[in-house]
Amino acid sequence: MSKPFGTILVANRGEIAVRILRTVKSMGIRGAIVCHELDADSPAARLADIVIPIEGTPVGSYLDGEQIIRKARAADVNSIHPGYGFLSENAAFARQVADAGMTFIGPSPATIELMGDKIRARAFVADRGFPVAPSAIEDDDPATFAERARTVGAPLLIKPSAGGGGKGMHIVRDLALLDEAIARARSEAERYFGDGRLYAERYIERPRHIEVQVLGDAHGNVIHLFERECSLQRRFQKIVEECPSPALSQDERERICETAAGIARAAEYSNAGTVEFIYGEGQFYFLEMNTRLQVEHPVTEEATGIDLVAAQIRIATGDPLGLSQADISLTGHAIELRIYAEDAARDFTPTTGRVLAFCPPEGVRVDAGIRDGSNVTAAFDPMLAKLVVHAGTRHEAIDRARAALSRFVVLGCQTNIAFLDRLMADTDVANGNLHTGLIAEKPELLADPPLAPQELIQILGIAARAMRPVTDAADAIATMHVRMGGWRN
Amino acid sequence: MRHRLKLGDEVHEIWLARGLDNDLLLLGDTWHALPPPSDGAVIATNGNTVHIHAGGRTFTVQFIEPVSSLADDTGASADAVARAPMPGAVLSVAVSVGDKVEQGDPLVVIESMKMETTVRATRDGTVAIVHVVVGGSFERDAALVTLADEA
């Protein structure tokens, strides 16, 4: 057993900071958090043993690796967990953490570099005989990029090579619009990633997104923790994820999971990672590898019983995994639903507001980054919380999710909760007929259905009785009627 | 005169009265007996707005002050004001006060939801007010650029 960490700093915010701190504290380790002033009263700041204020713009402060490392050292932090987003896949940051004498909880900087560059990652995977989709890579010969992309044929997906999270991705179904899409993707890539290089790959119509959780240690052990299906997406971003995938046969499950473990093994992967695949018509292609904890990791935790953050921490101390592939099995079915501050009927645009009431349902896992009184602003990502249900079968898990969604109260800031419920009630979703364009193909799910006359009366009645000018007027008239009655007698 | 309550995009005119057994709600031409306040609903009020969670759905109902229902925050006609379709930040401003623009001309490029969107003029006109600066942030429906009303 290696020497455990005394203090772990979570270089993140919101629900993932809370989730990591819970495991850190349960392991008897002190938990520290960096905190912009907008987050000073957040659940994560309240849970942490040590709060380290950071300065700058809201998002910029969480991206300021130099400031975070300097303040972490001053606070005697031994180790930094980056969560997801922000600095989690920044190889330079991982290196600077190590140079400062602390441990980065994640894979080596070299691995982050390899997998962070999508083009290099693809080449690495293809060279070792794993499946990748037909593609054209700009770097191979920038002058002929558009021409080679045309040769791959429509439909095409144009992506930034340094990208992630759907940013800067454009589908081209008509090759006449290719140049325009390339220009737009490049402008977005330059702005978000400071790197305008692109690649184009065959877009599989109605694909499924299936990914495999892997764990590797510094001693060469690599295992997989089965797959997650994340096909329910809006704007290229996942909103519902599940484990296992309803699409795979047992044989396909073994093949895709073994492929993922093989890729991780080839990369000498150490710590938690996710190998993402595009799946359609029985074929799967490597998409990318995420060298961090994923947003949707809880479904794997629920279905396997493994605490992934605890595993990450043990691996980072240098301990062997302590788990073999035979130790990992799936029990039942887990579903995660992301609660966003957004308006589904307005093309999922973010909403803002002060949270006047936050009452998550009891008896199910809710990873939340807000509480009563939190201000939801446009400064940060609009994900507020994650609802995670686990049941014996997929059908029961959906029922449990719907029951929990109907009891999930967030007032003061509009959310996607009712939309998620309509999505879970959809026949294709219930039957597991998923693909990444499903939500876009069902615009009828976006808007709240009109209220029945009796419901309208009920809602207006509740509102009327809570409005002072309305009740004052009602009480005044009641008094008047009593007097009139008196005159008549 | 009735109270005006806004639910979603619709304004409803109502009156509340106290009955012997129930509260009564006048909606349209009909009085409806309201059920007793239900324990299933969760409500939160914020100024003139009541937020309600009932039957698994969330509703926002706004009490419209009798005078404010006529006014607009800029005083300009609706199509003279280019508004933010969503909360976000300003990437660039393409126009200055006094510029003549035609319908479809770009006014402001905004960034929201990790994407850039160009806000364009919905009619011809002259720029009267630029409400935003590069790097500034705004909420949904905020005025971005106001055009002078045509003479």
Q: Which residues, 6 or more positions from A81, have their beta carbon under 8 angstroms from its beta carbon?
A: A8, A9, A10, A11, A12, A20, A24, A105, A106, A309, A312, A313
Which residue, among B1, B2, B5, B25, would best test binding to A if mutated, counting the most A CBs under 10 Å from its CB?
A: B25
> Does B87 contact A348 at a Cβ distance shorter than 8 Å?
no
The reported pLDDT for the residue numbered A165 is 66
Q: What is the pLDDT of residue A296?
A: 98
**Residue count (chain B):** 151
Task: Mark yes or no for CB contact B86/A465 under 8 Å.
Answer: no
A235 contacts B52? CB cut-off 8 A: no
Listed by number, the residues of chain A in 330-359 with a beta carbon closer than 8 Å to a beta carbon of chain B are 346, 348-352, 354, 356-357, 359
Distances, alpha carbon A259 to alpha carbons A87, A218, A265, A420, in Å: 28, 20, 10, 32
Segment 137-176 of chain A within 8 Å of chain B by CB: 165-167
Our count of domains for chain B comes to: 2
The bridge status of strand B100-101 relative to strand B57-64 is unpaired
Mark which of B46, B64, B82 sits at the end of a domain: B64
Place of tokens 């799946």: A279
In angstroms, rounded to a whole number, what is the distance separating the alpha carbons of residues A202 and A95?
35
Residues B17 and B86 in one domain: no
- The rounded distance, in Å, linking the Cα atoms of A80 and A10 is 6
- Interstrand relation of A375-376 and A353-354 (parallel, antiparallel or unpaired): antiparallel
pLDDT confidence bin for B151, thresholds 50/70/90: very low
State residue A439's pLDDT score: 97
Give residue A146's Cα distance to chain centre.
32
Contacts of A405 in chain B (CB under 8 A): 56
Report whether A210 contacts A247 (CB < 8 A): yes
Same domain, B77 and B139: yes
pTM for this prediction? 0.84
Read off the CATH number of the domain in which B127 is found: 2.40.50.100
CA–CA separation, A465 and A226 (whole Å): 52
Dihedral sign of CA atoms A360, A366, A372, A376 in order: negative
Query: Looking at beta carbons, which residues of chain A come within 8 Å of B139?
Result: 352, 378
pLDDT at A117: 85
Contacts of A425 in chain B (CB under 8 A): none
Q: For B42-64, how does the pLDDT look when each residue is reduced to its tens digit (9 = 90+)?
A: 999 988 999 999 989 999 999 99
Whether residue B88 is found in the same domain as residue B25? no
A chain contacts of residue B3, beta-carbon cutoff 8 Å: 464, 467, 469-470, 473
Task: Give the tokens for residue A446.
Answer: 């976006």
Note whether B34 contacts A192, CB cutoff 8 Å: no
pLDDT of residue A483: 41
Domain identity same for B51 and B29: yes
φ, ψ dihedrals at A481, nearest 5°: -60, -40
Residues B101, B58 within the same domain: no
> A480 touching B, CB under 8 A?
no
Residue position matching structure tokens 């002929």: A144
Contacts of A86 (CB under 8 A, 6+ apart): A11, A12, A62, A63
For A51, the enclosing helix (H) or strand (E) is strand A50-53
Strands A333-340 and A237-243: antiparallel
In terms of domains, do B77 and B40 share one? no
Q: Do the Cβ atoms of A459 and B59 come within 8 Å?
A: yes
B127 shares a domain with B74:
yes
Contact B7 A351 (CB under 8 A): no
Per-residue confidence in pLDDT tens, chain A, 489 aa = 567 899 999 999 999 999 999 999 999 999 999 999 999 999 999 999 999 999 999 999 999 999 999 999 999 999 999 999 999 999 999 999 999 999 999 999 999 999 988 888 999 999 999 999 889 989 888 999 999 999 999 999 999 988 766 778 899 999 999 999 999 999 988 888 888 999 998 888 899 999 999 999 999 999 999 999 999 999 889 999 999 999 999 999 999 999 999 999 999 999 999 999 999 978 899 999 999 999 999 999 999 999 999 999 999 999 999 999 999 999 999 999 999 999 999 999 999 999 999 999 999 999 999 999 999 998 899 999 999 999 999 999 999 999 999 999 999 999 999 999 999 999 999 999 999 999 999 999 999 999 999 999 999 999 999 999 999 888 887 554 544 333 332
Any idea how long chain A is? 489
User: What stretch of H or E contains A475?
Assistant: helix A468-488
**Which residue in A5, A62, A6, A125 sits closest to A369, CA to CA?**
A62
- Among B20, B49, B112, B113, most A C-beta atoms within 10 A, so best to mutate, is B113
pLDDT in the model for residue A249: 96
The DSSP output letter for A183 is H
* Residue numbers in A near B21 (CB within 8 A): none
Indicate whether B131 and B107 sit together in one domain. Answer: yes
172-201 of A, contacting B, C-beta below 8 A: 187-188, 191-192
Tell which of B64, B86, B103 closes a domain: B64
Look at A378 and B27 and tell me if their CB atoms are within 8 Å: no
The encoded tokens of residue A398 equal 């959906």
Residue B120 and residue B104 share a domain: yes
Token readout for A293 is 């904890």
Q: Is the confidence at residue B76, as pLDDT, over 80?
A: no
Q: From the candidates A458, A468, A482, which should be mutated to test the interface with B, based on the most B CB atoms within 10 A?
A: A458
Asked which of B22, B39, B64 is the last residue of a domain, the reply is: B64
Residue B29's pLDDT band, with cuts at 50, 70 and 90, is confident
- Which domains are delineated in chain A? 7-105 (3.40.50.20), 134-202 (3.30.1490.20), 208-445 (3.30.470.20), 452-489 (no CATH)
* DSSP per-residue letters across A384-437: EEEEEEEESSHHHHHHHHHHHHHT-EEESS--SHHHHHHHHH-HHHHTT---TT
Cβ–Cβ of A357/B44 closer than 8 Å? yes
| Spatial distance between the Cα atoms of A67 and A52, rounded to a whole number of angstroms | 11
Q: Which residues of B touch A475 (CB under 8 A)?
A: 18
CB-CB under 8 Å, B3 with A412: no
**What ipTM was estimated for this complex?**
0.85
Chain B touched by A235 (CB under 8 Å): yes
For residue B36, the enclosing domain spans 2-64
Contact A474 B55 (CB under 8 A): no
- The reply to whether B78 and B104 lie within a common domain is yes
Write out chain B residues lying below 8 Å of A192, CB-based: 114
B94, B60: one domain: no
Please name the member of A188, A411, A474 whose beta carbon is closest to the beta carbon of B18.
A474
Contact B88 A354 (CB under 8 A): no
Determine whether the interchain pair B51/A477 forms a contact, defined as Cβ–Cβ distance below 8 Å. no
Residue of B27, B45, B60 with shortest CB distance to A457: B27
The DSSP line for A324-366 is -GGG----SEEEEEEEESEEGGGTTEE--EE-SEEEPPSSSEE
Does residue B109 share a domain with residue B88?
Answer: yes
Structure confidence at residue B135 (pLDDT) = 83
C-alpha torsion angle, residues A91, A59, A183, A208 (rounded to 10): 70
Whether B150 shows a pLDDT value over 70: the answer reads no
